[in-house]
Amino acid sequence: MRRSWLLIVLLALLVSACRAGTTPAPTSDAPAAAPPTATMDIARPEAVGRQFLRAWEEGDYAAMYALLAPSLRSGLEEEKFTEAYRSALDTATVISVTTQPLQLALSGTTAALDFREVWHTAIFGRLEVENRLLLREEEARWWIDWRREAIWPDLVEGRRFAVEYQVPPRANIYDRNGAGLAVEGTVVTVGVVPGQIEDEAAVLSALSELFGSSPESLRRRYAGQPADWFIPIGEVSTEESLAHDEALSQPGIQRRERTVRLYPDGVAPHVVGWIGPIPAEKADFYRRRGYRRDALVGISGLEAWGESILAGQNGGLLYIIDADGAYVKGVAERRPMRGRSLYTTIDRDFQLAVQTILSGQVGAIVALDVASGAVIAMASSPSFDNNLFTAQGDTGERQRLLADPRHPLFNRATQGTYPLGSVFKIVTMAAGMENGLVEPRTTFYCPGHWDGLGRANRKFCWLRSGHGTLTLEQGLVRSCDVVFYQVGYLLDGQDPELLPQYGRAFGLGEATGLRELPEATGLMPSPAWKQSTYLENWTSGDSVNLAIGQGFLLVTPLQVARMMAAIANGGRLYRPYIVARTDDGAGHGSETTPEVVGRLPLDEAHLRVIQAAMLAVTQSTHGTATHRFRGLSVPVAGKTGTAQAPGETSEPHAWFAGYFPADDPQVALVVMVENGGEGSTIAAPLFRQVVEAYYGLPLTPLPASAP
């Protein structure tokens, strides 16, 4: 039908052009009208109606407005027209609209197109109704004769939608034993009403004692504010409020209790995260999921990752009100669906102990279950109190936190990337043995330096006096650089790709697959990478540097912890995970199944050699960390690492990575201290303290040489 009409119009234009020779110019600012014809086919108003409805489905309000009759547009601003639609759809939590034209009724210069509209909403599901779109002929063409009821039939005489939200409480986050890490609780907001203060000195004294701020700084908080305003000063627990009840009961001080998300003791803040107002750039995302504009949502950590699990599904009542706000009729109702709590793999008490041990350092500690990849503890330092993000009152602490140049919000355990230093020698040793280049008893001579690349490129061992003659296995125990320079050189001679391939096979330079938190991939350099990045060829020197964990290599502490777990469990690389299960309290939820995502390229005999060498690091006479673990009742297998950091004056990064107990591995553990110096000086003693904390043993004081 549409094609027939177009042919008729085209023929009419050709005839008109032949007769007149020109086309008349427009005589007004109105949109150009279609050429007049003697009769209007019924398909023409239907086409205009269909175009209007298609534009609505696409959310193209400008196109819809352009189809309104000129006489209507002169009295209706496009902004108000658009707002009419957006307000209705937003209130009803509409995600998308679909329409279906039904039939057209034509009467002279007016028409009516009946259509079915379906609203797909975030809260109320599918809303469907039959409606009517009016059209009129003006200036020899058809236009939309728009009324507000074209949005929804009930929107007449100033009526509009209203919604009463039913928001389920946010589900909790627990540790592996059911202890709360993020829970719903109450706090008391303490504030002042300036106009009600009778004894300002007494008021300031009470507040100063409670919050530890000077009276003058507190006074500045409400000075110049309206006398009848409530000015929040800070928040305390209900217990603290009651403990200071008499001092806080004087005129001018008010207390208001409110429900809030609490993070007891600030356990694992980088893991748990926090909630906050919906970010402006995500407003539409959350609207389409049925959230109120003033909702609090997960911003970081598990709170963000598990948002849809924890928040559940809002319910509500959608109804029509008149211009005065009076209830007219109900449209739809849906009950809320409660969220599911997250039960994590974190051990709360152990996590707190790890955080305390790491405090004062800049670095990270990661502990994994070697048999599953479950994260038992994960700490990053400097740390922060995630309760700051849900507290009301002074924003100064939050601002200081955000401006801190040490970046305490940055999770160094999963996002920090560092050279690995001598811990990487485990990979080099594995690659050498597996490719038949060396054996555990292969001997080397270390005079304190290595000239394999020529005397002009002499490289030194960390022990300048040299280790003398020693085997490959002893080379790992003593962390002899000369041994591994030579192994790296041999690997490069066989194939420059070998060592990078083994590094990746040990899980370095790639994401571990942790789903709950953002993680960096790090960098496992290779000949292809260097060529594409620097347009330079890979050299033997690159392999030699990589062999001792230096050069371009970058890893995360989590990657190293997973590698240690694989060495401990017989070679299985697990996908790390933090959420063990979800539960809505009514028996509905899901459990995480440990997932093996790779295997170390090591035969059993070679793996046992590496395990024995790592035990000797902490037990044998010449082990690089023996003096740090002397007297510990729990046998530990591990490896020290001292990785050169960028900058000529920077201290190296200190590593100690391993597992315990060595004779029945349960936990893989990595300690990394940025610019901490020697791995045996600071990282190994911290590692020992973590082991002691795990078993409830007294903590051995850090050595005097530790920073």
CB atoms within 10 A of CB 560: 30
- For position 406, what pLDDT does the model report? 93
Whether 8 has a pLDDT exceeding 50, the answer reads no
Q: Which CATH class is domain 38-156?
A: alpha beta
d(C-alpha 37, C-alpha 336), whole Å = 57
What stretch of H or E contains 264? none
d(C-alpha 358, C-alpha 687), whole Å = 10
Whether 304 has a pLDDT exceeding 80, the answer reads yes
Amino acid in the structure at residue 77: E
- For position 27, what pLDDT does the model report? 37
- For position 707, what pLDDT does the model report? 59
Query: SS3 of 167, please?
Result: coil
**How many residues appear in the chain?**
707
Using only C-alpha atoms, the chain has a radius of gyration, in whole angstroms, of: 35
Read off the pTM: 0.85
What is the residue extent of each domain of the chain?
Answer: 38-156, 173-334, 421-579+592-694
153-171 confidence digits (pLDDT tens): 999 999 999 999 999 999 9
Q: Which CATH class is domain 421-579+592-694?
A: alpha beta
Pairing verdict, β 341-344 and 173-174: parallel
Nearest to 438 by CA among 398, 371, 483: 483
Read off the pLDDT band of 649 (50, 70, 90).
Answer: low
Q: Strand ranges (DSSP E) for 510-625?
A: 572-574, 579-583, 589-591, 596-599
Question: Which CATH code, of 3.40.50.300, 3.30.1390.30, 3.40.47.10, 1.20.1250.20, is assigned to 173-334?
Answer: 3.30.1390.30
Query: SS3 of 300, please?
Result: coil
Distance set, CA 421 to CA 427, 491, 540 (Å): 11, 18, 18
- Segment 6-19 shows an average pLDDT of 38
List 334's β-bridge partners, or say none: 316
Per DSSP, helices labelled H in 21-168 are 43-57, 61-66, 70-73, 78-91
d(C-alpha 640, C-alpha 616), whole Å = 12
- Segment 111-120 shows an average pLDDT of 98
372-423 confidence digits (pLDDT tens): 999 999 999 999 999 989 876 556 788 889 899 999 999 999 999 999 999 9
Q: Report DSSP state, residue 577.
A: B
Pairing verdict, β 173-174 and 637-643: unpaired
252-286 confidence digits (pLDDT tens): 999 998 888 999 999 999 999 999 999 999 998 99
- For position 705, what pLDDT does the model report? 65
Residues 133 and 71: beta-carbon distance below 8 Å: no
List 164's β-bridge partners, or say none: 317
Q: Report DSSP state, residue 387.
A: G
d(C-alpha 690, C-alpha 460), whole Å = 33
